[in-house]
Chains A and B, each alone.
Chain A
Amino acid sequence: MSKKPGAAQALHKVIMVGSGGVGKSALTLQFMYDEFVQDYEPTKADSYRKKVVLDGEEVQIDILDTAGQEDYAAIRDNYFRSGEGFLCVFSITEDDSFQATQEFREQILRVKNDENIPFLLVGNKSDLQEKRKVSLAEAQGRSQQWGVPYVETSAKTRENVDKVFFDLMREIRSRKIEDKAASNGRGKDRAKRKKKKCIIL
């Protein structure tokens, strides 16, 4: 649109987490490009950027699609640090993936050191009701325990796909406003500080 977007344009950083094959990439691609990918190709770490209008305000969303595969578990911390909000995805057709969300939640809280980090529990593949292994009640129970919203999505039918991303962005936005209110103007300084803190040793 414009070559020099106003510094005011917000950038919300979302991270997709969850076990391998639950549909993180599928959700991301559906959100980004309105398409559903049938093939499964394990992700390493991909990032996407998109301009969206959030409640009348033009903002940018930065999505980091991470690896669900176990062999990448050891390096997840590095990715999680950069996130402002998390979509913690499991597949309702696979109980293991639901159990794994507990671990992801703990790791995120540890890395971010913040109980109120914007976070959504996402039960994906809702189009596959006949194969459901995780009951709605079970999932809702966990989300209530964590104090986060629970949404069921389908990357295939696009059900609730926009909703989860927009809901999360709203949470991120309100967190940022809170932070700003708490320590006036700090958010901007932070961005500057990043560039200066370069020389180690």
Chain B
Amino acid sequence: MSEALAQHFITEEFTPEKFVKNLSSHCIGAEDLRHQRAKIQELADSISALLKLNVYQNYNQFIETAKEISHLETEMYQLSQLLSEQRSLLSIFGTNQNIVFENNFEIKSPTSVEFQFKEEESKLKLIQLLENVEGAMSLLETPGRMCLYEGSLLELDPVEGLPLKRIHAYLFNDVLMIASWLANGNRRGPPRYKMQVIYDLQSLAIVNIKDLGTVKLAFKLLSFPDTRVFQCTNAISKREWLEKCEQAKKLKIAQETQLKPIHTKKSTKMELLYTVSQSKYSETGTVGNNKIDKHHFYEPFPEWMLEVTEDLDSCIAQRHFEKAYKLIEKAKVFVNNALPTPQLNETTLKINSRSYFLINVLTRELELSVEAKSLQGGGLRSARRAVKLLIQMDHTAQACQLYLKLCSASLKARLKRVKREGTTVPYIKQLSAIAFSNIFELSQEFLKIFPQITNCASALVLWCSHEIKFLVSHLIKQMFIPQVSLSVLVECIIMIRNHCKQLTQMGMDFQYQLDNQLKIPLSRTLQDTGEKYMDAIKVRASEDNWKLSNLQTTQNFLNLLAELDNLGIPLPESCIKNKYWISLTNNTLAFAKLYIGLLEDCLNLITPETSNVIEEVLISVLQIQIQHIQSSIFNCKFKQDKNLMQDNAKYFHDVIIGRCLELYKSVIGYDFKKLLVLQEKFCFETISISNKPRPVPRTSIPKYSTTEFI
């Protein structure tokens, strides 16, 4: 019937006037009209219920989608961070080959930041290493050359096995270099060597000397026609030498068979370069018409350029990093405008090496401040200088990474100072306040240092997310302990949420992350608390002897009234018997206070993730009290207390449950369905069997009046 009616309304040609006219002409008498009206009313009600349901579902869907988006957003940030790392790696790798001198050797694809660090580190090591070896700088020219192992050895006569002299050997990935010791005079500093010979690993055989009379710990190099015997200082060193040589040789052979074509191409390129510069030399006598050529080529280096490496060294040593950077930049410009000559090449190599060195010093500086235990504000401030330079030198990703590490360290240091004294709440309050305000400050600072670099912004988001996760997991450990009651917990969680919300000012929302982290421990605590309440209610119920409450003084009475008003569960006038007597039992009053407290705590915590648990807890606690009331009503022992019971049941039904429904709706925005069902059931099973229904005052619960059930 109502279906048919509904069909009427959704037809296109429906007009209310026509419908009403039609209806009134068909109806006979007022009764029929009233009947029709009721039907339409019914339809309206069901439609509005449907609408509500729809809204609720949409709302839920909306929340789900919003969460989904949040997750996606973090993933996007992560992705963008990865991409930017890759990109900066690639670009660094490109410049790595030759910072100043634009020369495109084939670019290998690095896979990680570590790889890049290693590459640079090994290059730098190589430079530092070779600086102590006279005549070995030419070894730097081969890109990708790395020192795998080095050490001092004692050379022995290959025939007799007698000691000859101490040498220093360097194993590279492609060659083995033997250097002899140079007298260091009385100069301080690292020992100096002079390059003696370089053996190509390909034509070098390494033999483990198992037996050479009394000679122990020796190995042999065969590189026709040389046979050389070296003695190590200990067994470990010997084993390492043999292993490293073996590895290097195998690698070299594997590479050689792979990279043959590329290798030859590269070498022809180098040759070409040299022939070009040589032909320039040979043209010296002729009158060149290329003026620029002539100008740049014949002019000797300006003085500053001649001293550039020494100057750079001293700048870096004196920590005048900015000055060093400027000098490098200046040299770059000079080199780019000059034509390649052997001298220029050499200087370029040297400048490159200083450039690496500077980068390394700066990174090291940052790393050291990360490691430093006592991080004052100054640590970050001084780091800013290094970071700025690194950004200028195209090492943004690295700088960003290190800076964030530094931020972490600084945050940790600051939080360490928060001592755990007294109770949980002050500690949690202090800790989270300090942590969040620091995260906020550090983030703002970060954005100032790395402005307009979107890649770094994503790194920041990840950093914040990580720090907050870490912090919250620490807080969880502190808060979720049996000694901390639910209401204290609520206080803490609300505070943390508020702090978290502040970060949205910077466009970062970690609330869903926080809620997610809290979900499991919170659910457990809610359930535990619920059980504790139920136990307490059971105990009190067993002691309930159903007596009116006597408050003894007017003051007590007024206090109670005020208290209940405050809780939103005012005492109905009908319950006031005379003077200080009220027809609510102590049990009911205690339950009411307890329950409203629980309710408020729960509603303060509620999130879509926890709403299920919360509803369950609220319902099951109520049910225990309901059981008590019901079993008392049917207990003959309390036969004469029927009226008192009715008053209590009604108060429970109307005021307590009513307040619960009201509060729930005002916080969550929709009805507490399960409770409505429970309320109805309670009314039906308990109150309606009463033979003397009395009107119930509805002071604070106008919306959820339940009189219609009575």
Q: Which A residues lie at the B interface, using CB under 8 A?
A: 4-5, 11, 32, 44-51, 64, 71, 74-75, 77-79, 81-82, 190-191, 193-194, 197-201
Please report which residues of chain B, range 200-228, place their CB below 8 angstroms from some CB of chain A when the two chains form the complex: 202-213, 220, 222-227
**Which A residue sits closest to B212, measured CB to CB?**
A49
Complex-state Cα separation, A75 to B246, whole angstroms? 11
B-chain residues with CB within 8 Å of residue A45 when the two chains form the complex? 205-208
A82/B205 in contact, CB under 8 A = yes
Q: Which of B138, B212, B222, B250 has the most CB of A within 10 A?
A: B222
B-chain residues with CB within 8 Å of residue A77 when the two chains form the complex? 203
Shortest C-beta distance, A166 to chain B (Å), equals 18
A201/B198 in contact, CB under 8 A = yes
- Looking at the complex, which one of B208, B246, B253 makes contact with A74 (CB distance below 8 Å)? B253
**Which A residue sits closest to B249, measured CB to CB?**
A75
**B196 in the interface, Cβ–Cβ < 8 Å?**
yes
B246/A200 in contact, CB under 8 A = no
**Which A residue sits closest to B200, measured CB to CB?**
A200
**B159 in the interface, Cβ–Cβ < 8 Å?**
yes
Shortest C-beta distance, B626 to chain A (Å), equals 82
Count B interface residues, CB 8 Å.
31
**Which A residue sits closest to B250, measured CB to CB?**
A71
A200/B208 in contact, CB under 8 A = no
A46/B227 in contact, CB under 8 A = no
A200/B197 in contact, CB under 8 A = yes
**B12 in the interface, Cβ–Cβ < 8 Å?**
no
A49/B225 in contact, CB under 8 A = no
A-chain residues with CB within 8 Å of residue B160 when the two chains form the complex? 4-5
Complex-state Cα separation, A198 to B225, whole angstroms? 10
**19 intermolecular pairs with C-beta atoms under 8 Å apart:** A4-B160, A44-B242, A45-B206, A46-B209, A46-B210, A47-B209, A49-B211, A49-B212, A49-B213, A74-B253, A75-B202, A78-B205, A81-B205, A81-B222, A82-B224, A191-B159, A194-B226, A198-B196, A201-B138
A47/B210 in contact, CB under 8 A = yes
A-chain residues with CB within 8 Å of residue B225 when the two chains form the complex? 81, 190, 193-194, 197
With A82-B227, A191-B159, A193-B225 given, is the CB distance from A200 to B211 under 8 Å?
Answer: no
Supply 14 further A-B pairs (C-beta < 8 A) apart from A5-B160, A48-B211, A81-B224.
A44-B246, A45-B205, A45-B207, A46-B207, A49-B211, A78-B203, A78-B224, A79-B222, A190-B225, A191-B159, A194-B227, A197-B226, A198-B197, A201-B138
What are the interface flags for B225-245 relative to A under an 8 Å C-beta threshold, 1 for contact and 0 otherwise? 111000000000000001000
A-chain residues with CB within 8 Å of residue B253 when the two chains form the complex? 74-75
- Looking at the complex, which one of B159, B204, B210 makes contact with A48 (CB distance below 8 Å)? B210
Q: Which of A78, A193, A194 has the most CB of B within 10 A?
A: A78
Shortest C-beta distance, A142 to chain B (Å), equals 27
With A82-B222, A199-B196, A200-B197 given, is the CB distance from A46 to B208 under 8 Å?
Answer: yes
Complex-state Cα separation, A29 to B130, whole angstroms? 42
4 interchain residue pairs of minimum CB distance = A78-B205, A81-B224, A48-B211, A45-B207
Q: Which B residues lie at the A interface, using CB under 8 A?
A: 138, 159-161, 196-198, 202-213, 220, 222-227, 242, 246, 249-250, 253
A199/B208 in contact, CB under 8 A = no
Complex-state Cα separation, A165 to B429, whole angstroms? 87
B249/A64 in contact, CB under 8 A = no
Shortest C-beta distance, B231 to chain A (Å), equals 14
With A44-B246, A49-B213, A75-B249 given, is the CB distance from A198 to B226 under 8 Å?
Answer: yes
A-chain residues with CB within 8 Å of residue B222 when the two chains form the complex? 78-79, 81-82
Complex-state Cα separation, A49 to B213, whole angstroms? 7
- Looking at the complex, which one of A4, A11, A44, A71 makes contact with B208 (CB distance below 8 Å)? A44
Complex-state Cα separation, A127 to B583, whole angstroms? 113
B-chain residues with CB within 8 Å of residue A4 when the two chains form the complex? 160
Shortest C-beta distance, A149 to chain B (Å), equals 26
- Looking at the complex, which one of A32, A79, A191, A198 makes contact with B205 (CB distance below 8 Å)? A79
Complex-state Cα separation, A200 to B197, whole angstroms? 6
B-chain residues with CB within 8 Å of residue A201 when the two chains form the complex? 138, 198
B205/A47 in contact, CB under 8 A = no
Shortest C-beta distance, B130 to chain A (Å), equals 14
Shortest C-beta distance, B459 to chain A (Å), equals 45
**Which A residue sits closest to B164, measured CB to CB?**
A195
A199/B197 in contact, CB under 8 A = yes
With A74-B253, A78-B222, A82-B227 given, is the CB distance from A11 to B210 under 8 Å?
Answer: no
B-chain residues with CB within 8 Å of residue A75 when the two chains form the complex? 202, 205, 249, 253
B-chain residues with CB within 8 Å of residue A198 when the two chains form the complex? 196-197, 226
Shortest C-beta distance, A47 to chain B (Å), equals 5
B-chain residues with CB within 8 Å of residue A48 when the two chains form the complex? 210-211
**Which B residue sits closest to A193, measured CB to CB?**
B225
Shortest C-beta distance, A41 to chain B (Å), equals 12
- Looking at the complex, which one of B159, B196, B207 makes contact with A47 (CB distance below 8 Å)? B207
Complex-state Cα separation, A194 to B164, whole angstroms? 15
A47/B223 in contact, CB under 8 A = no
Complex-state Cα separation, A23 to B565, whole angstroms? 102
Complex-state Cα separation, A194 to B210, whole angstroms? 23
A32/B211 in contact, CB under 8 A = yes
**Which A residue sits closest to B256, measured CB to CB?**
A74
B227/A11 in contact, CB under 8 A = no
B-chain residues with CB within 8 Å of residue A191 when the two chains form the complex? 159
Complex-state Cα separation, A200 to B202, whole angstroms? 15
Shortest C-beta distance, A126 to chain B (Å), equals 25
Shortest C-beta distance, A155 to chain B (Å), equals 16
Shortest C-beta distance, A96 to chain B (Å), equals 24
Shortest C-beta distance, B66 to chain A (Å), equals 60
Complex-state Cα separation, A74 to B202, whole angstroms? 9
B-chain residues with CB within 8 Å of residue A47 when the two chains form the complex? 207-212, 220
Complex-state Cα separation, A4 to B212, whole angstroms? 15
B204/A78 in contact, CB under 8 A = yes
**Which B residue sits closest to A3, measured CB to CB?**
B162
Shortest C-beta distance, B136 to chain A (Å), equals 10
Shortest C-beta distance, A185 to chain B (Å), equals 17
Complex-state Cα separation, A145 to B203, whole angstroms? 31
Shortest C-beta distance, B706 to chain A (Å), equals 89
**Which A residue sits closest to B215, measured CB to CB?**
A49
**Which A residue sits closest to B225, measured CB to CB?**
A194
A-chain residues with CB within 8 Å of residue B203 when the two chains form the complex? 77-78
Complex-state Cα separation, A64 to B219, whole angstroms? 12
Complex-state Cα separation, A126 to B591, whole angstroms? 100
Complex-state Cα separation, A110 to B222, whole angstroms? 18
Complex-state Cα separation, A199 to B199, whole angstroms? 10
A-chain residues with CB within 8 Å of residue B249 when the two chains form the complex? 75
Shortest C-beta distance, B229 to chain A (Å), equals 9
Complex-state Cα separation, A48 to B210, whole angstroms? 6
Complex-state Cα separation, A201 to B136, whole angstroms? 11
